[in-house]
Structures are given as C-alpha cells and as structure tokens.
C-alpha cells in the first residue's frame, strides 16, 4: 500500500473487504473480528448504509455490533449526494472519534455517486490514514478500491465489455475488488477489468469471507470461503482493444493464487504466503471449541 499519503508517525487502519453474506447468526467470526479491530468494548463504529435500498439495514448492523459489545454505533443517514455534500459538523465530529467505519451491501454506485469527490469522502480517507478501521461487505467491499467494478455479467471467460468500471472511494488504491466471487461466477469480469489496466491487483472475495489488509500491505484471509488473487502485471499479450463486444479476450501471462482462511498475500511483493504452524493450530483449536459448544 502507498504510505506516502499517511500522516507522519501514523499507520493506516486495517481494511476488511467482505465478500457478502457473512455469518450474522452463529459464530459471526468476521463481524467479531471487525469489532475487535475497532477496539472491542472501546469500539466507536460508524455504519454507512447508503448502498442499500432498505432503510433498516444500517440499524440491523448497529444492533449486531452492540451485541458484540461495541461501545457506540452511529448510523449515517445519507441516502443522496445532497445528504453527503451537506453533511453537518455533527457527522464530521462523529468521524473524528470513530475507530471503525462499516459500509453495507447494496449497490456500489449508490455509494460512489453519493460520496465521490465530497468533503465527507476526503474525511473518511484521512481518518483511515490516521488509523480508523475500514470495512465493507458486498457493494461496500467493491467501493473500497480506487478502480471499482460498478457492474458486469457473470461467467468464467473474460469478454469485451463484460464489466463496467468507475472510481471507488480509494482506500485501497492498488486493488480491484470483486465480491460474491465464486457464488456468482465473477472470474471473467475481474480478469476483463484487468485487461483494461493490468496494473492493479485483482482480488475476488467469496461470500462469508474477508480479505483483511494491514498497514504493511499484507492481506490475510478469514472466513469459510476463499480469496482469489489475480496478478496481471506480467501480462505479455492481450487483444482486449481489438476484439468485438462479447467476444473472448486473450490474456497471456496472468498469475492466479487461491487463498483460504489463514493464508496471506504480500501485496507489495505480489507473493502468496502460507499460514504458519501456530495459525493452523489456533484455527484447529477454534474448530474443536466451536464443535464442543454446539454439542
């Protein structure tokens, strides 16, 4: 991750890109990890439900976070761009003390069109650079990146115009993040996005799975699914500029890694890292403990 824009002496907060449909009923491993990263019983969380068509979505997450012993949870009532532009001093004051920021699912274009280029978006990026944790699920995960997939079609094969791109909020400038990845068969649209510009790293996150990115640029996987990493920086050839709409795109030189829970990926070095033995033992112990509790 680019550290040049971070305040002197401060480290950016954890980023959690969640693939959607995260467990909200049983162990709630991913949501609990978010609350813990925000400070546990000292967590001051802000929820943005702009992406959702359902007004109660933000309140539902607030209830969940309170149930995990967060200290305070504020839901930002921002439905339109006018709301974001005219956000009052009280909204900005809430962000100044927030230890975590959570974006719900829905439509990522609802978020980017409402917040893009506003003082509120700038405040969010500044607070993240100062240490605030940023998480998003489904559409909220997609908008974390700067090069954002705004919409597209399913399919395993990259095709001309299979995907449309827009600018996200830019918390993770070096990534393109897609979500509901295996469930909705989105490999083709992620690779198509990289055919437009091979520089960013493609990150496809399965449901009930989180890609957690720390201040050092190391991504760690948490949850029941996998994270697919596509590195197109070594691309030797593509005909994406020449084929007609709907035709398959040739791409030579891609590198693909599949990471399951506990696996890591060094974004700066573009290298996958296996879980160490202690992480494997801890994961096994947690499974035994959960199984015993269920019995």
Decide which of 26 and 7 is more confident: 26
CB distance 213 to 235 below 8 Å: no
Taking CA atoms, 119 is separated from 131, 200, 281, 284, in Å, by 19, 26, 45, 45
**Catalytic residue (one of 52, 107, 112, 138):** 138
Angle between helices 29-37 and 57-67 (to 10 degrees): 80
Give strand pairing partners of 103. Answer: 48, 136
Active site residue 241: no
Provide CB contacts within 8 A for 255, sequence distance 6+: 230, 231, 232, 234, 270
Give catalytic status of residue 138 as yes or no.
yes
Q: What does the angle CA 1 – CA 157 – CA 254 come to, to the nearest 5 degrees? A: 40
Domains with residue ranges and CATH for the chain: 15-294 (3.40.50.880)
74/262 Cα distance (integer angstroms): 31
Rounded mean pLDDT, 39-56:
97
pLDDT in tens, 60-118: 999 999 999 999 999 999 999 999 999 999 999 999 999 999 999 999 999 999 999 99
Mean pLDDT of 112-133: 98
Q: How many CB atoms are located within 10 Å of the residue 106 CB? A: 19
Between CA 65 and CA 45 the distance in angstroms is 8
Q: Residue 276's pLDDT is what?
A: 79
Known catalytic residue: 27? no
The string of pLDDT tens digits covering residues 172-213 is 999 999 999 999 999 999 999 999 999 999 999 999 999 999
Q: Which pLDDT score is estimated for 151?
A: 97
- Which of 112, 145, 207, 261 is flagged as catalytic? 207
> 88 or 229, which is more confident?
229
Cα 232 from Cα 255, distance rounded (Å): 7
Per-residue pLDDT, 3:
45
| Alpha carbon distance 159, 80 (integer Å) | 33
- Position 294 scores a pLDDT of 47
100: left (phi over 0), alpha (psi -120 to 50) or beta: beta
């Amino acid at each position: 991750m680019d550290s040049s824009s971070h305040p002197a002496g401060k480290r950016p907060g954890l980023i959690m890109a969640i693939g959607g449909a995260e467990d909200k009923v049983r162990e709630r491993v991913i949501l609990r990890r978010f609350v813990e990263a925000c400070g546990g019983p000292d967590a001051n969380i802000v929820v943005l439900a702009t992406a959702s068509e359902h007004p109660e979505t933000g309140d539902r997450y607030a209830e969940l976070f309170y149930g995990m012993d967060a200290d305070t949870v504020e839901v930002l009532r921002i439905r339109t761009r006018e709301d974001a532009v005219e956000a009052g001093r009280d909204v900005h004051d809430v962000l100044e003390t927030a230890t975590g920021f959570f974006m719900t699912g829905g439509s990522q274009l609802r978020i980017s069109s409402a917040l893009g280029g506003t003082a509120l978006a700038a405040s969010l990026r500044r607070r993240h650079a100062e240490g605030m944790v940023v998480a998003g699920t489904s559409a909220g995960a997609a908008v974390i990146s700067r090069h954002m997939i705004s919409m597209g079609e399913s399919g395993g094969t990259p095709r001309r115009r299979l995907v449309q791109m827009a600018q996200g909020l830019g918390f993770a400038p070096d990534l393109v993040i897609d979500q509901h990845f295996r469930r909705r068969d989105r490999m083709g649209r992620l690779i198509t996005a990289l055919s437009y510009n091979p520089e960013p790293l493609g990150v496809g996150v399965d449901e009930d799975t989180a890609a957690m990115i720390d201040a050092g640029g190391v991504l760690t996987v948490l949850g029941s699914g996998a994270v697919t990493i596509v590195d197109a920086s070594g691309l030797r050839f593509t005909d994406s500029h020449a084929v007609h709409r709907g035709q398959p795109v040739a791409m030579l030189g891609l590198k693909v890694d599949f990471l399951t829970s506990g696996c890591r990926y060094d974004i700066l070095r573009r290298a996958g890292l296996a879980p160490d033995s202690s992480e494997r033992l801890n994961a096994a112990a947690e499974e035994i403990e959960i199984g015993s509790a269920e019995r």
